[in-house]
Amino acid sequence: MSDFYEKLRLAAGDGRIRRDEPMAMHTTFRVGGPAAYFAEPGGEDALARVIRLCREEEVPFYILGNGSNLLISDEGYHGVMIRIGEGFSRLERLEDGAGCKARVRAGAGLLLSRMAAWAAKEGLTGLEFAAGIPGTLGGAVVMNAGAYGGEMKDVIRSVRALDKDGQIRDFRAEELQMGYRFSSIQERGDIVLGAVLDLNPGDRDEIQDRMEELARRRREKQPLEYPSAGSTFKRPAGYFAGKLIEEAGLRGYRDGNAQVSEKHCGFVINRGGATAEEIRRLCRHVQKKVAECAGVHLETEIRMIGFEEETCDAACNCDRNVRGGKDNSLKDA
């Protein structure tokens, strides 16, 4: 594959290309084996060239944000991990829209925490809920990330994306069908490049106070001292995942160094030195026990990449195409 490496390097232009990149360095779980290739294109044109090359050469690829919603196997990824990073970090205020809305354009590689801090400094309200979410804007749009009563769909006006035909398209918010941890981008497999958000002018001190209050609540209720992927399971209709897990007797349950958090049962944590397989097994054990005890299926929020035994059904979020040599353009947070 040395020829492919050279082609990849040329396609990425000024972007960074590495071989055998340890993915534990790029996921918030701090686990994961090496990616055969790791690419960080410097902009939209370079990204389009890298993806076109992968498709032409039938090399699988995966779009990576901050790795905050991702579990990569200990064996790693036998393709190209494409990180949407610094080349997609532009942030600017546009002319205000109708109804005194403050219009903001942001790149998909921006961390939500950085965006929320910038908005607070600008005296713009609407992103306070996002200050503690560890993902990027791109992944947050794809999954309609949310917390403490706020969701991305509340602030998104439009999204700029690269579709499967390599064309750049702009989608209005109403075209995205954004719901609980869902947008139509997931079904189409588009790659988010950026978005325009509508925020509201507000009082800087009140915005900052709200962010500090939410940060305090997170510290009190969430196991922020350990690597994790945030909330591990989606909230089933009519239930709370953490409560179901606790009622199944799984608070503090361990598989090696992977553990159901004692502080918040909805979090699976890496106590230090956990393997991806331990985390995967623990997630499946939790699903099994909750189904036995409550008759409820817990669906994972995290995407599981490179586990051969994973199947593409409602019980998993696997990388459907990695073994078949096709592309997988779903984006994590």
Positions annotated as catalytic residues are 181, 231, 301
Q: Distance between alpha carbon 42 and the CA centroid of its chain, in Å?
A: 20
Distance (Å, whole) CA 332 – CA 69: 6
